Structure 1
């Protein structure tokens, strides 16, 4: 199952539960720590310009018939188990270092060129609408002569359905191209899906801009922090993809046709744009935090203003009450029958005059 980039509490109750951070460290030569998938689904597209064979295989041995075919084969494995991955890598002549990278979890996006094969690993990212959090799964792609292997963790979802639909259409460009163009389409659809995540995060940022204006409280601050954390972790996940695509552009491997390089350049432009948008959103979230503190200061200033006005209004009344509260026998008006009402009237009159004066000065 895909793991969350960073487990967080429900945004509707940001103080529910405890925060947890799971750090994955798997060196290249380490033992794979991945839990075996309960189900492995293998989908094969074997195609050329005038025909396309689509199969869903249950037995790993059925894949081996596509090892050496004149047509282009796309073999997609949903669900990672060590036995199946080892059997496929052995049959297709994939280096054991690539096999370990496929099996290991928490890999940083990268591109490797080993022998006559190209390998890349990158995150496929989804937006969980229920918890408003980002989830990711690791996708590994191996490009060889006349074949592309893709390994995914979750058989329940991916972003490759548009490619499958295009492969079923006669005369479509992917059907008439080689394996390097198919590899480009896989990278392109993954990178394009990042913009969908950015749209969702952008909507959350716009929503929080309105919330901060009206609800500058601890709950709002918690929601801003959750949004900032998701955005930073999204940025951390996609930032290395830029170098990954750049690795294809710099490669001189004969598997990459010169006419296909302009398409990889287009993917590179997309991932650069995506990183720029992420940086812009990061700045917007930091501005949200500053706006939150500004709203708090404004509310505090309003409270202090009210307290200052009340204190100022009560100051002369307190002085008068203090004077007439002194315990002396010989005081003017002390024994006057109307002394209490006279002093009380004077105090009310002073209060009214001060309120009118403050209103004219615009102090409240």
Structure 2
């Protein structure tokens, strides 16, 4: 009962902890999405081949429709998800209703599907918020067609694709010489590579926290441990399913992935295995930090108890001597002796000093 009250009291002091926990753990796929739609969306098109590249921002959705039949490779990047616009794009490019539903979903588990000749992948981009020391995730959907790749993003302000955009501007770059499947690989590869950037930041926080625990563990340190533990849940929940996603692409018999491109997806698979192992290591480190914190707290408590016990032991002789000479008997040795007071005080000082010497000789403190 006390532990339950303590937990609820901590939520009153830090209500964001409760919201964070619900956000991390409680996802119900049967509940309709309640996404707040942006006022506008941004459409960017990269239509390219080895020698030419047409890069532009489109003003409205119908402007992207002609690129379905483009002889070049097309990357359509949709920043901001509005139901009506996503359905228009899906209808024109032949994207199945179930895929559209997944694109518009919230908190969906990373997955891949192959429906109506299109390859669909949904996964999370991750960022590390230095200010709040929190892992932030953004759901991204990728659709691979014969000559096109469409990416649907929630946040128009940030992503991890800027290096790819720069490479697309360079004539003769490798991505410009390849087809849509290589572009599809490049997008997934950049998302996965950014996982390591986020984990490196978390690793620095864990190392710093370990030093704090060794130096001075307190209740604030315990709060930091719990916060990082929740971030590890977010990390693990986003990374672990990507292994199945990439494995599904490798096992797929779709004609959209050429045989020469499969080796690149195998490289992503190796990276995601490494990311999973690193996430497991960090989780073990967090458990060890919790044990280290408890050990340090117990050690400090033992030190305090040892000091109090020593002080009690040192005062015990004075208490005994004072108690003996304070008894109401008529005949007490040294009661009427002029040196009685000095003898009793001397014993009260000598015996504790002898005890201190004995304690130090035995290594008790």
Note whether the superposition's TM-score is higher than 0.5: yes
In 1, the alpha carbon distance for the partners of 2:246 and 2:105 equals 21
In 1, the alpha carbon distance for the partners of 2:174 and 2:349 equals 89
SS of alignment partner, residue 176 of structure 2: coil
In 1, the alpha carbon distance for the partners of 2:330 and 2:28 equals 87
Matched with 2:347 is 346
Matches within 5 A, 1:235-250: 235-250=236-251
In 2, the alpha carbon distance for the partners of 1:34 and 1:328 equals 88
Shift of 1:31: 4.4
Matched with 2:361 is 360
SS of alignment partner, residue 143 of structure 2: strand
Shift of 1:26: 2.9
Matched with 2:137 is 136
Tell me which stretches of 4 or more aligned residues in structure 1 moved more than 6 Å: none
In 1, the alpha carbon distance for the partners of 2:33 and 2:312 equals 70
Which stretch of structure 1 is more off in the superposition, 275-284 or 99-108?
Answer: 99-108
Matched with 1:9 is none
Matched with 1:197 is 198
Matches within 5 A, 1:191-270: 191-270=192-271
Matched with 1:94 is 95
1:26 aligns with 2:15: no
Shift of 1:119: 0.3
Unmatched segments (≥5 aa) in structure 2? 1-11
In 2, the alpha carbon distance for the partners of 1:116 and 1:211 equals 54
Matched with 2:78 is 77
SS of alignment partner, residue 48 of structure 2: strand
Matched with 2:6 is none
Q: Contact (CA 8 Å) 1:313, 1:354: kept in 2 or not?
A: yes
Matched with 1:305 is 306
Report the aligned-residue RMSD: 1.3
In 1, the alpha carbon distance for the partners of 2:244 and 2:206 equals 28
In 1, the alpha carbon distance for the partners of 2:347 and 2:239 equals 73
In 2, the alpha carbon distance for the partners of 1:279 and 1:15 equals 31
In 1, the alpha carbon distance for the partners of 2:156 and 2:314 equals 72
Matched with 2:58 is 57
Unmatched segments (≥5 aa) in structure 1? 1-13
In 1, the alpha carbon distance for the partners of 2:29 and 2:335 equals 90
Greater helix share, structure number:
2
Matched with 2:3 is none
Greater relative contact order structure (CA < 8 Å, 6+ sep): 1
Q: Contact (CA 8 Å) 1:118, 1:144: kept in 2 or not?
A: yes
Q: Contact (CA 8 Å) 1:32, 1:100: kept in 2 or not?
A: no
Shift of 1:345: 1.3
Matched with 1:332 is 333
Shift of 1:282: 0.2
In 2, the alpha carbon distance for the partners of 1:16 and 1:229 equals 14
Shift of 1:359: 2.0
1:188 aligns with 2:182: no
Shift of 1:15: 4.7
Matched with 1:117 is 118
SS of alignment partner, residue 36 of structure 2: coil
Matched with 2:154 is 153
SS of alignment partner, residue 70 of structure 2: coil
Which stretch of structure 1 is more off in the superposition, 353-362 or 302-311?
Answer: 353-362
Alignment length (residue pairs): 349
In 1, the alpha carbon distance for the partners of 2:331 and 2:146 equals 114
In 2, the alpha carbon distance for the partners of 1:61 and 1:103 equals 20
Q: Contact (CA 8 Å) 1:37, 1:81: kept in 2 or not?
A: yes
Cα deviation code 1:27-59 (max 9, x no counterpart): 4xx644322122201010000011111001111
Which stretch of structure 1 is more off in the superposition, 310-319 or 182-191?
Answer: 310-319
